[in-house]
Amino acid sequence: MINVGLYYRVKPGHEEEFEKIFSQVLEFLKGNVDGFIDAKLYRSIADPREYLIYSEWKSLDSFRKFTLSRQFSDTTNYGKSILEDIPRHKIFQEINT
């Protein structure tokens, strides 16, 4: 299993829109994307325009496959209109001890 942290900064006034789009994308992922487990949305306490999407995937391959899909491309293209900066992401792998 891997976890992906996706970091976003939203343009002023687009916070509610970003949260709504997240909910729609989450529902799509749950029903249509192999290897997707779950995701949660977090908002920064220090800056309410900064968000983290923390997602769980069965494998790195399933996440990478999704990033090559039309749905991912459509979502990222739409995001350009409401995001202030280019999103960043970090991938972590669970360590079984």
Q: What is the pTM of this model?
A: 0.88
Task: Please state, in angstroms and rounded to a whole number, the distance separating the CA atoms of residues 16 and 92.
Answer: 28
Q: What is the CATH number of the domain that holds 73?
A: 3.30.70.100
Per the structure, the count of domains in the chain is 1
How much is the pLDDT for 33? 93
Q: Flag whether pLDDT at 95 surpasses 80.
A: yes
Question: Has residue 96 got a pLDDT over 90?
Answer: no
User: Whats the size of the chain, residue-wise?
Assistant: 97
Sheet containing strand 88-93, edge to edge, reads: 36-43, 50-57, 2-9, 88-93
The range of the structural domain enclosing residue 18 comes to: 2-93
Dmax (CA) for the chain in angstroms is 44
What percentage of the chain has pLDDT greater than the value 90?
A: 78
Q: How far apart are CA 39 and CA 21, in angstroms?
A: 13
Average pLDDT, the chain: 93
pLDDT at 18: 95
- What mean pLDDT do residues 15-21 have? 95
- Are 50 and 44 in contact, with CB atoms under 8 Å apart? yes
